[in-house]
Structure 1
Amino acid sequence: MTGAGSWPPEADPVLRGEARGQGRVYQATRDQLITEHHHHYQEAGAAVAVASPDSVRVARVDRPPRVLRNREELRAGLVAALAEGGAVHVVHGMGGTGKTSLAHWLFAEATRRGQVGLWVTASDRLSLRAAMLAVAADRGAQAGEVLAAFAGHRAAADLVWQYLDRSPQRWLLVMDNADDPELLAEGGWLRSSAAGTVLVTSRRAVAALWRTATTHPLGALPLEDAAQVLCDLAPESGTLDQARAVARSLGCLPLALDLAGSYLAHQILESWTMADYHDHLQDDATALIDQGAQLSQGPAEDRQLVSRTWQITLDSLSAQGLPEATTLLRLLSCWSADPLPLSVLASGAAAAGLDQLSPPLPAAQLEAALRALLANSLVSLQPSDPARPSAGARRLQVHAVVLDSVRAGIPPQDRRSYHRAATALLAAALPAPEAGRAPAGELLLLAPHVAALLRRGAQEVPPESIELAIRTAGSIHEAGDYQAAAALAETAGRLAQEIGGADAPAALSARRQQGDSLRRLGRLQESVQLLQDVLSRCEAVLGGDDPQTLQSALTLSLPLYLLGQRENGLALLERAVAGLRRVLGEQSPQALQGRALSLELLVDVGRVADFVHQGASTVADCEGFLGAGHPVTVVAYSNYAYGLLHAGDPPAAHAAAERAVQARIALHGPEHPLVYSAKLVLSWALMLCGRHEEAVLLMREAAEGRERLLGTGHPLSVRARILLVERLVAAGRPAEAERLFRENLADAERVSGADDPDLCRVRALFTR
């Protein structure tokens, strides 16, 4: 705008002009090109037409925590940073871990210490820019300067940091919800200043902008603190023990705890206790947790729901051209929240049909999708444990609440295809039966994920998942974890019955595996009852010569034998072996397994001549057809050594028992119940060879190993203590032997029966 002036000039050749206020006069005696750049500074106090927040002096938190539990070490470090200034700290973690609550606590602490607290929401470009310019105004920038920066006439971030650097008071600047670090980078908003401290909260664990900052990962709370949070929020709803149970089900995630506590504290029509809440969590956890947000006293737009907390990040990744991250997290949600070996994703991705999912997940994009989930704290990566090499290499872990909410968000029409892909990946990671045993550590890592596949209900679970569970239960059984094997087989059998009825082949296979594991657990009566029902159904549905019927008969023979029905057990076993040899052939592992098992039973019923006739050929056939390291061959080694002791050939028995122990260790590792069974046989051979002290030491090791792995009340543990008595007598330690015998006699009669041959032999040592 041109101001008042004098024109045209009079005779005076000197041109004159005058302007007032913001006016300008342009004067030239020749042609002149004028380029202008304007900065309009208003008078102090003039209105500024910028969409700035109402205040940057107030922390934007929906419901500030009544008490901030745990985080003591991190809080102490951040308080020290307040005093020092000049640093940038980034607190990162997945949604719901309490990053904003921690920032709110530090904000309050800073203001309590006389510092200026400045709060900026950094979730989007416009909010960030407006709030940072409001920070500049708070620190003394004139309204005209702020308007110029807002209009782009001067560098906005430079203006903000100019006034932050000049601030006469120390300050804390919180940049909350900076989940897209690129927004901070592109405007140059994130800097450090000696005048104050910067705290950034973000879901992004990895970002180039964090390289010069101090980063602090934030995860779930410890169980005790999580339980106390629930008691803080709903003190009348239950006991601390009940709060622990709820907290454990919620994975100790602060957001879930907050919503659960809000629900319990603000009920009107219902009056659930924490125990009631825990029971209802088993039905639809995500929907129930979200109901706590409906009782929030904050604005509706500020209420956080677990069902959408992580979807925000997934939507952002899809907008960035990576929809595969959503597919991968949905796939992970089919499994358990337990650690998952990375090898599961790496080994079977190409064959699992991931490119047929919706959205598709091509194998080439798997790495990028995984990196995106890691960078946004939706999954975490656990390093391998040098102390437990058998537990596998690196593992992924996803919080249980994340899995539940993501799983609930999969379109119903897509769930079965995701389930099939998850099953195929686990099946590829589990060694095939003919490949030998899997390391126990790997099996223990895979087992909870296989079990999780069975929890989705009959409508979602494909037959492949049940078959995988039965196969996994068998592998776990071979690895020596009979309790886990029985539980997994029971779950698989129950679901198979629900889908196909009690006579379905999968149901019968699962229940047979369950019965065999119950036998190993010493629950012999339960084992016999279950296996007799399985055998009856197999005979009725499949016929007497079906391999599954014959295998069921073989499996039933063992608990019958252990219950003292030795003749019946052996007769059933021999019929099964004859059928397996006829139906499957002499070289089949099933027929050879039956022959190997019969070696022990033959000598126990007094048919030593039959043992001598069959023993060496059975071992030779197992070695020749299956190989020396096959589990069936190892059973043959061990039972052959046992039979040689009854046949009266201690030197040969000693050599065979040594080989059996080494084969057991090579197959199962040193800590396995069957290794200690083999050492028991070797101890007996040492005793009969006159090496009494060695026999006592090895027998004591076998007894203690069985007690450690199976429990002191297990029949095999009781039997081991009774047989240790025999070794002590042979070693010339009668007083110690008699004391041990008296202590264990009642248990031995209870679990084995008063007529058990081993017990009768040991009892005779004290009644001569």
Structure 2
Amino acid sequence: MSGVRTTVRSTDRGASRQAVTVHFAGFNRAWAAWIGDRLERRGIRVVYLRWDSPADVPLVDLLRDLKLAEGRILILVSEWYFQLGPRTHEEWNVALREVVAPDPSRFAAVSVTAAPVPTATAVLAPVNLTNMGAEEAERRLLDRLDLPYDTSTQQSDDFARGPRFPAAMPEVWGGVPRRNTRFTGRESLLNDAYHLLQGAEPGAGVVTFYGMSGVGKTQMAAEYVYRFGSEYDVVWWVNAEKRVTYRRLLAELAPKLGLQTGQEYGERLRAVRDSLRRGDPYGRWLLILDGADEPDQIWDLVPTGPGHVIITSRNPEWTEHNSKLLEVPVYDRDESVAFIRRRAPRLTEVEADQLAEALEDLPLLLDQTAGWLNDSDLSVREYIALLDGGIDGDVVKVSADFPLAFQTAWSILLNKLRDTVPESVDLLRLCTFFAPGFIPVRLLREMSSEQLPEQLAGLLNDPLLWNRAINQLRQYSVVRLESHEAAGDEGTASGESLYLHRMVHQIVHKDMPDEDRREFIEVVRQALAAADPRRPTDPDLWPGYAEIVPHLKYADVLQTQDAAVQRLVFNCLRYMYFSGEYNAGIKLGERAMDAWRALLGPVHPRIWELTYHYTNLLRAVGDYARTEGLSRAASEHLKAERGAQDLEHLRAAGGLAADLRGLGRYDEALELSRWVLVAYRDLLGEQDSRSLNSLNNLAVSQRLLGRYEEALNIDRQTMEARRQLLRARHPWTLDSEISYAIDLRLLGRYTEAESIQSRNVRENRIVMGEDNPQTLRAEYNLALCHYRGGNREEAGRILTRVLERGERVLGETDPVTLIFASAQSCFTREHGDIDQARELSEAVGARYEVMLAEGHPFIAGARSNQALILRNVGEREYAHVMVEQAVADMTSAVGESHPWTLGCALNATALRNLVGDTEGAAALSRDTVSLAIESLGRTHPLTLSARIAHAADLRGLRDRRQAEKVELEALSDLEATLGKQHVHTISARSRHRPFWDFEPQTT
């Protein structure tokens, strides 16, 4: 039998062995595998024969052919076994009496069901194996086959490694839908999937069931779980339609695996992935990712290890992500016919074939149509005529995925629902104002009845009526429950997690009276507004926002003036900003800006609040020119209308200062930041969070101007105040710690910086999650602390990891990702592949040239970094021209005393020497030392590097005495500040010429 292990373990080698043919329905494959394994271990030769029952062959002939099998024939009695064909109980009674009764010794049977079976099954004398443990079941099996039961055989480790007893659930089981008792066919696909997974190398056991909507991919995956799940210790099913939902559901596996973690799901997720990768505590695991239509969103989170992964998706691009593809087509015609006849027993085989042809063999449509057609007086011929004629002449193909007949078939089904339980249609229409897929209808039931129209109040407040509507929809497979075994009866009653297929969603949404549309959409809007967690800055509440956001579009929340709904939009935008969902937030912000300008007018107060949230998101992706225009317009309007001391105006002015920082206009930004801070303190006091935010922004401006001591003092003040006002683990407090550690590092206080940043990284991972932009910034700064402290190996490992995650989470062109890429390029230039460093450096420079205006300090800094790469690959003249341009541009942008200008000058001195301009190099290094001492102090790392470089230039001029004096003084200061064994000290002592890496800063 395909899909069942056939290795024979003989206890009597060389001797002729007794044979048993195990005859079973595909549904009972797990029982067949377990029974066969128990027999093989006792020297019995087992032949597996899966039962097929083609409708065109008489059942008597099929049973006669079965007698040609070798040895005794052991039949696995179950409802599945007798339903294939399908065959009636009467047909079975006749066949069993005619074929089995005259020769009962050839047959034996075990029963694995409590469901009714044909009465003549008694001739098989089946022994029951249900409702007992594995040991007793095995004893009964062997007794039925007249075989001795030897308990000593069970003691060996090899014996224990066999297939799991089917009645015993895997030790960890969650989220799996209830088994579809009408599942039909797909035998070859199921077996192909089994063999692909079993034959895969560790870490490569990934199979994707893909195909169009409604073809039955989820049902395939569920059937695989029930057929083969007994071979696993862990079976875990997750909805993978959205990255945030997938992360949360996978993280919920942590406590089931016995992993000791905190409550934050980012931490749990890391622990789960590590546990699965190691196969500890369970090596035999099966993970199902259902509805993963966007591989780019979650491929990096697909666990690897000794276990297996099944993905269901409409997207064949999973083949690019280490997955084998198995296409799930529409049913073969014989599968369609068999399915229809089981779903609608009143139909003949010819009628089932006609219906299957009309519905193009699509399983979802077959299921829904046959279900109600079986209860209808309508003939198949009449129904097909309706399909051909259309309903009201309106037969529309809604998308390329849909069969032409789908809308018409659905119109017929809706009429059926309306005639029986009209409230089920109301519920269904209500669901279409949520996003397709999992519908959080519990939000509706949590609403106050005063908010509900009369038409819906009864449905949502009457449990009996609600149950009737739910059951009616489930009866015709219109909806299903997300996790039947998890929800139980209570879940069925409350309907808290219904699943609505996207095809059904589109058809129902389109076919709706305008009056219902207006009424129902308002109900869903109010339900979403009521579900608003109200604190978008709190990471603990982000899962709530992640659940709400997909539904905003379908509830058309931008077309209402309701204040609560508009507040929900603002909070969702804020959540997207703090959680790093910038691109999704920008799309929502753009749509809101267009819709609300038309709905409210261009100068409505809501427009200015929207501008604030929208520009935050645009600023996060580096669109400073656009944000500067929006922020300035808002600031000027609010100042003219409400006065300079208005809080809304101050918020807009603070945003404008941020835009000026992004544009490289640091002096203007500093002046505006100071004014905003004073105004906030006058209005609100020093301890208000808005005053502290302004204080934080002032430190950013100081840092960008190279005034690191001033920035350090301000960041320390902000950090301590936030710890008092907010809490130690508040995101803003953690952000202040990052800023403070950066200031320490930029001042050369590497040990202090690393100590603070190491702890801060751990806290950010717990609070913000591993891939949040703030966590990435924390890890990035820790990498540079390691690098400056001399731990190059750890620095390189973290930098590589941070860049990979930044590119994936934020995108390759995000300003924060470009900061990571710049550092990775500089590190790789010195300690890796120079060609890779060059490629990365050129990409960073090109992006800055597109994003920023010519003359921006980031462009000059990127060119200084690029010049060092050109120098290292021997392109000295080109490098010299580029670095001199960088010095000139940086001087124009930020002044001659700015650390960035001094760093560019340090690099330029090296290039001048290489092209033979030793005098120019010495003159520049002398001036650089003087300016560095004045602006940074004698012992700042950049000043010390300039002094070492100047000593080398003096040697180039043959001024050995002065060179030695300068060098010894610099070495003494290096040893005093960084230590004798620090990498910078050792490098200077070895007379390796120092260089400077430009490091872009967040703005």
**Aligned-partner Cα distance in 2 for 1:738–1:121:** 65
Q: State whether residues 573 and 588 of structure 2, in contact with CA within 8 Å, keep that contact through their aligned partners in structure 1.
A: yes
1:147-162 matched pairs, under 5 angstroms: none
**Aligned-partner Cα distance in 2 for 1:412–1:712:** 45
Deviation at 1:592, TM superposition (A): 2.4
Q: State whether residues 702 and 708 of structure 2, in contact with CA within 8 Å, keep that contact through their aligned partners in structure 1.
A: yes
Equivalent in 569, 574, 592 of residue 474 of structure 1: 574
Whether 2:529 is the aligned partner of 1:427: answer yes
- Write out per-residue CA displacement over residues 648-670 of structure 1, whole angstroms, 9 at most, x where no aligned residue: 32222212222332232223211
Whether 2:667 is the aligned partner of 1:567: answer yes
User: Could you say if the C-alpha distance between residues 352 and 553 of structure 1 is closer, same or farther in structure 2, counting changes exceeding 3 Å?
Assistant: farther
Letter in 1 for 2:535: P
Match of 1:315 in 2: 419
- Structure 1: gaps of 5 or more residues: 1-76, 111-117, 136-170, 178-199, 211-232, 234-245, 260-288, 290-303, 387-392
Equivalent in 722, 735, 740 of residue 635 of structure 1: 735
**Aligned-partner Cα distance in 2 for 1:351–1:463:** 20
User: Could you say if the C-alpha distance between residues 743 and 596 of structure 1 is closer, same or farther in structure 2, counting changes exceeding 3 Å?
Assistant: closer
Match of 1:333 in 2: 432
User: In structure 2, the residue corresponding to 1:628 is in which secondary structure?
Assistant: coil
1:614-763 matched pairs, under 5 angstroms: 614-728=714-828, 741=841, 744-751=844-851, 755-756=857-858, 758-759=861-862, 762=865
Equivalent in 446, 458, 461 of residue 360 of structure 1: 458
Deviation at 1:627, TM superposition (A): 0.9
User: In structure 1, the residue corresponding to 2:498 is in which secondary structure?
Assistant: strand
User: Could you say if the C-alpha distance between residues 682 and 454 of structure 1 is closer, same or farther in structure 2, counting changes exceeding 3 Å?
Assistant: same
Match of 2:303 in 1: none
**Aligned-partner Cα distance in 2 for 1:176–1:316:** 27
Deviation at 1:497, TM superposition (A): 1.6
Q: State whether residues 430 and 438 of structure 1, in contact with CA within 8 Å, keep that contact through their aligned partners in structure 2.
A: no
**Aligned-partner Cα distance in 1 for 2:629–2:609:** 15
User: In structure 2, the residue corresponding to 1:624 is in which secondary structure?
Assistant: helix
Pairwise CA RMSD? 4.7
**Aligned-partner Cα distance in 1 for 2:514–2:839:** 66
Whether 2:707 is the aligned partner of 1:607: answer yes
User: In structure 2, the residue corresponding to 1:592 is in which secondary structure?
Assistant: helix
Deviation at 1:422, TM superposition (A): 1.2
Deviation at 1:380, TM superposition (A): 3.0
**Aligned-partner Cα distance in 1 for 2:571–2:564:** 11
Deviation at 1:727, TM superposition (A): 3.5
**Aligned-partner Cα distance in 1 for 2:413–2:647:** 52
Whether 2:635 is the aligned partner of 1:535: answer yes
Match of 2:649 in 1: 549
Deviation at 1:438, TM superposition (A): 5.2
- Write out per-residue CA displacement over residues 491-530 of structure 1, whole angstroms, 9 at most, x where no aligned residue: 2222222221011222222232222111222323223233
- Write out per-residue CA displacement over residues 286-329 of structure 1, whole angstroms, 9 at most, x where no aligned residue: xxx7xxxxxxxxxxxxxx475564243133113xxxx3x34422
User: Could you say if the C-alpha distance between residues 743 and 350 of structure 1 is closer, same or farther in structure 2, counting changes exceeding 3 Å?
Assistant: closer
- Write out per-residue CA displacement over residues 590-623 of structure 1, whole angstroms, 9 at most, x where no aligned residue: 3323323333332221333432432222111111
Letter in 1 for 2:434: W
User: In structure 1, the residue corresponding to 2:459 is in which secondary structure?
Assistant: coil
User: In structure 2, the residue corresponding to 1:637 is in which secondary structure?
Assistant: helix
Letter in 2 for 1:427: A
User: Could you say if the C-alpha distance between residues 576 and 328 of structure 1 is closer, same or farther in structure 2, counting changes exceeding 3 Å?
Assistant: farther
Deviation at 1:624, TM superposition (A): 1.1
Percent of aligned pairs sharing the same letter = 20
**Aligned-partner Cα distance in 2 for 1:633–1:645:** 19
User: Could you say if the C-alpha distance between residues 668 and 104 of structure 1 is closer, same or farther in structure 2, counting changes exceeding 3 Å?
Assistant: closer
Match of 2:583 in 1: 483
Q: State whether residues 712 and 740 of structure 2, in contact with CA within 8 Å, keep that contact through their aligned partners in structure 1.
A: no
User: Could you say if the C-alpha distance between residues 119 and 425 of structure 1 is closer, same or farther in structure 2, counting changes exceeding 3 Å?
Assistant: closer
- Write out per-residue CA displacement over residues 382-410 of structure 1, whole angstroms, 9 at most, x where no aligned residue: 34999xxxxxx985332456445545666
User: In structure 2, the residue corresponding to 1:361 is in which secondary structure?
Assistant: helix
Q: TM-score, normalised by structure 1?
A: 0.58
- Write out per-residue CA displacement over residues 108-160 of structure 1, whole angstroms, 9 at most, x where no aligned residue: 989xxxxxxx999989xxxx8xxx9xx9xxxxxxxxxxxxxxxxxxxxxxxxx
Q: State whether residues 310 and 402 of structure 1, in contact with CA within 8 Å, keep that contact through their aligned partners in structure 2.
A: no
User: Could you say if the C-alpha distance between residues 711 and 175 of structure 1 is closer, same or farther in structure 2, counting changes exceeding 3 Å?
Assistant: closer
Q: Which moved more, 1:644-653 or 1:426-435?
A: 426-435
**Aligned-partner Cα distance in 2 for 1:531–1:78:** 71
Deviation at 1:452, TM superposition (A): 2.0
Deviation at 1:625, TM superposition (A): 0.9
**Aligned-partner Cα distance in 2 for 1:206–1:568:** 71
Equivalent in 253, 271, 288 of residue 402 of structure 2: 253
Match of 1:436 in 2: 538
- Write out per-residue CA displacement over residues 181-217 of structure 1, whole angstroms, 9 at most, x where no aligned residue: xxxxxxxxxxxxxxxxxxx96639999x99xxxxxxx
Match of 1:215 in 2: none
Q: State whether residues 654 and 673 of structure 2, in contact with CA within 8 Å, keep that contact through their aligned partners in structure 1.
A: yes
User: Could you say if the C-alpha distance between residues 578 and 405 of structure 1 is closer, same or farther in structure 2, counting changes exceeding 3 Å?
Assistant: farther
Match of 1:21 in 2: none
**Aligned-partner Cα distance in 2 for 1:729–1:120:** 68
Equivalent residues, number: 522
Equivalent in 594, 605, 612 of residue 494 of structure 1: 594
**Aligned-partner Cα distance in 2 for 1:660–1:599:** 19
1:3-402 matched pairs, under 5 angstroms: 80-83=54-57, 85-87=85-87, 174=352, 203=368, 250=399, 252-254=401-403, 257-258=404-405, 304=408, 306=410, 309-318=413-422, 323=423, 325-341=424-440, 344-345=443-444, 348-350=446-448, 353-354=451-452, 356-358=454-456, 360-365=458-463, 366=466, 369-383=469-483, 395-400=497-502, 402=504
**Aligned-partner Cα distance in 2 for 1:635–1:550:** 22
- Write out per-residue CA displacement over residues 261-283 of structure 1, whole angstroms, 9 at most, x where no aligned residue: xxxxxxxxxxxxxxxxxxxxxxx
Q: State whether residues 473 and 479 of structure 2, in contact with CA within 8 Å, keep that contact through their aligned partners in structure 1.
A: yes
Letter in 2 for 1:631: P
Q: State whether residues 654 and 682 of structure 1, in contact with CA within 8 Å, keep that contact through their aligned partners in structure 2.
A: yes
User: Could you say if the C-alpha distance between residues 556 and 667 of structure 1 is closer, same or farther in structure 2, counting changes exceeding 3 Å?
Assistant: farther
**Aligned-partner Cα distance in 2 for 1:710–1:355:** 43
Letter in 1 for 2:438: P
User: Could you say if the C-alpha distance between residues 175 and 606 of structure 1 is closer, same or farther in structure 2, counting changes exceeding 3 Å?
Assistant: closer
Q: Relative CO higher for 1 or 2, CA cutoff 8 Å, sep ≥ 6?
A: 1
Q: State whether residues 335 and 453 of structure 1, in contact with CA within 8 Å, keep that contact through their aligned partners in structure 2.
A: yes
Match of 1:282 in 2: none
User: In structure 1, the residue corresponding to 2:539 is in which secondary structure?
Assistant: coil
User: Could you say if the C-alpha distance between residues 412 and 745 of structure 1 is closer, same or farther in structure 2, counting changes exceeding 3 Å?
Assistant: closer
User: Could you say if the C-alpha distance between residues 423 and 251 of structure 1 is closer, same or farther in structure 2, counting changes exceeding 3 Å?
Assistant: farther
**Aligned-partner Cα distance in 1 for 2:684–2:473:** 50
- Write out per-residue CA displacement over residues 708-746 of structure 1, whole angstroms, 9 at most, x where no aligned residue: 222223333333222224435676988875675456444
Equivalent in 556, 559, 583 of residue 454 of structure 1: 556
Letter in 2 for 1:450: L
User: In structure 2, the residue corresponding to 1:203 is in which secondary structure?
Assistant: helix
User: Could you say if the C-alpha distance between residues 611 and 423 of structure 1 is closer, same or farther in structure 2, counting changes exceeding 3 Å?
Assistant: same
Q: State whether residues 444 and 460 of structure 2, in contact with CA within 8 Å, keep that contact through their aligned partners in structure 1.
A: no
Q: Bigger radius of gyration, 1 or 2?
A: 1
Deviation at 1:413, TM superposition (A): 5.1
**Aligned-partner Cα distance in 2 for 1:421–1:541:** 36
Deviation at 1:361, TM superposition (A): 3.0
Deviation at 1:485, TM superposition (A): 0.6
1:507-526 matched pairs, under 5 angstroms: 507-526=607-626
**Aligned-partner Cα distance in 1 for 2:476–2:337:** 28
**Aligned-partner Cα distance in 2 for 1:91–1:81:** 17
Deviation at 1:628, TM superposition (A): 1.8
